[in-house]
Structure 1
Amino acid sequence: MTLVLTNDDGIDAPGIRALQAALPAHATAIVAPDRPLSGCSHQLNRGGAIAIEQRQATEHAIAGTPADCTRVAVSYLYPEVQWVLSGINAGGNMGADIHVSGTVAAVREATLLRVPGIAISHYIHNRQPIDWAVATRLTRKVLDKLMQSKPEPGQFWNVNLPHLQADDPDPDMVICRTCTQPLPTEFKVENGQFHYTGRYGDRARDPGADVDVCLSGNISIAEIRLW
């Protein structure tokens, strides 16, 4: 077993099955949270027990965060793992998102454990449903490119797929930097309650960085360096 798949949307999410479909079945294992944990960032179990539920021979649901899943997979279930792949997340994780994303945190933890990784997310335009077959096709192309060689120590890839229709031509794959702009901070206050009102798709963007690339209809591939 060489490839461990995880996510932050939970083991029952369609995105992890779309990721699995992009890879050789005999080479993959799934070690994912037993429930949705979107936006959990790099939270970790601080010493309590972590329940492990084996659902199939190579599928385990973990009562922990995405980063916990990586630790359990790398240290216990699949110590021979060669890659940790996280996703496909239902929603973008680019720019400032990488600091709050559990999808990205799972791969960041793998990188800290000296296992190469790739995080893959799918931008959602105007709350439209994701075509997971398209996501699988695009992911297969990305992985064919990125997995030809392992990243340098301390580095991983963060990929964001644009929102396309089934009959749209395949987009370009653009290796780019991470956007430095904040998430939307527009707000309103009603009855003593603070509400964010900014639209994700209208967020500020650095020209040529991952937010700009993905929201312009192409696949952004950002190199993230920890050291």
Structure 2
Amino acid sequence: MRVLLTNDDGIHAPGLQALEEAVRQLGWQSVVVAPAFEQSQCGHRVTTHQPLKVEAQGENRHAVHGTPADCVRLALFALDARPDLVLSGINAGGNMGQDIVISGTVAAAREAAYHGVRSLSLSHYLIRDLHVDWSRASTWIAEILRETLVQEQPQRAFWNINLPHLPPGADPLPPRILCRPAHSPLNVAYTSNEHGYAYSASYASRPRDPGSDVEACFSGNVAVSLLHV
């Protein structure tokens, strides 16, 4: 299995390192093509009116001065990556419901699906002031990939997976819940200051639509959704 790894948190993000470790646990070969700097919440933006700078950062590691969707396009059509699978993540923060159209992490997996390459977007919901155990996340993702890749996946579709943020010691992989993206919008609120208006809404206070990815993940389960392009 040859796997392309990317993300939107940047090539040095701990979530990407955790994803690399999960791939190593599975014994797969990987190539990393990821943004040189954080590109969170850039959506499915692509670069077509200026050259994309690519820096080699070791064997099979490429830092792209562009977006996650750019990274996938370059890997497929310029860098000769030839992946069997594209994995995007592990994002530091959830990507559920309305996040899906905003997320660069999800966009990378969507771009791969448009070109007929099997793909998954992987995210880790975060609770403020609770330590993230990226080593545990690696183990969980390796197990999830073993389970998910034996399932039938329709053409032009991809999996969107969100890990819950659990306290230390909760090491067994939580239940996997097949669910739909939430329909309720994200909370929107701003506070004004001398610089303008700062976004101040609470992500954790968003509505938990019954049967949705938000309800599943916020309840301590792994939210698994099949998305179509």
Fold agreement, TM-score > 0.5: yes
CA distance in 2, matches of 1:157, 1:138: 15
SS in 2 for 1:77: coil
Corresponding residue number in structure 2 for 1:15: 15
Following superposition, which runs of at least 4 residues in structure 1 exceed 6 angstroms of deviation? none
Structure 2 residue runs of 5 or longer lacking an equivalent are none
Q: Residues 25-44 of structure 1 correspond to what in structure 2 (within 5 A)? A: 26-44=28-46
Over the matched positions of the two proteins, sequence identity in percent amounts to: 40
CA deviations over 1:91-143 (Å, ceiling 9, x no partner): 01111001110000001111111111100000001243311011111111111
- Per mean C-alpha deviation after superposition, the further-off stretch among 165-174 and 186-195 is 186-195
C-alpha deviation, 1:182, in angstroms: 0.5
Q: TM-score, normalised by structure 2?
A: 0.93
1:197 aligns with 2:200: yes
Contact 2:4 / 2:81 at 8 angstroms: preserved in 1? no
Given candidates 50, 55, 58, the residue that maps to 1:56 is 58
SS in 2 for 1:3: strand
User: Structure 1 counterpart of 2:9, which letter?
Assistant: D
SS in 2 for 1:37: coil
Contact 2:42 / 2:67 at 8 angstroms: preserved in 1? yes
Q: Structure 1 pair 36/85, CA: closer, same or farther in 2 (3 Å)? A: same
Corresponding residue number in structure 1 for 2:210: 207
Corresponding residue number in structure 2 for 1:6: 6
SS in 2 for 1:121: strand
CA distance in 2, matches of 1:58, 1:150: 29
Q: TM-score, normalised by structure 1?
A: 0.93
RMSD: 1.7
CA distance in 2, matches of 1:85, 1:23: 10
SS in 2 for 1:142: helix
C-alpha deviation, 1:149, in angstroms: 4.4
C-alpha deviation, 1:194, in angstroms: 2.9
Structure 1 residue runs of 5 or longer lacking an equivalent are none
Given candidates 174, 199, 212, the residue that maps to 1:171 is 174
Q: Residues 109-128 of structure 1 correspond to what in structure 2 (within 5 A)? A: 109-128=111-130
Q: Structure 1 pair 120/223, CA: closer, same or farther in 2 (3 Å)? A: same
Count, aligned residues: 226
CA distance in 1, matches of 2:65, 2:198: 31
CA distance in 2, matches of 1:127, 1:76: 41
Contact 1:9 / 1:90 at 8 angstroms: preserved in 2? yes
CA distance in 2, matches of 1:49, 1:193: 33
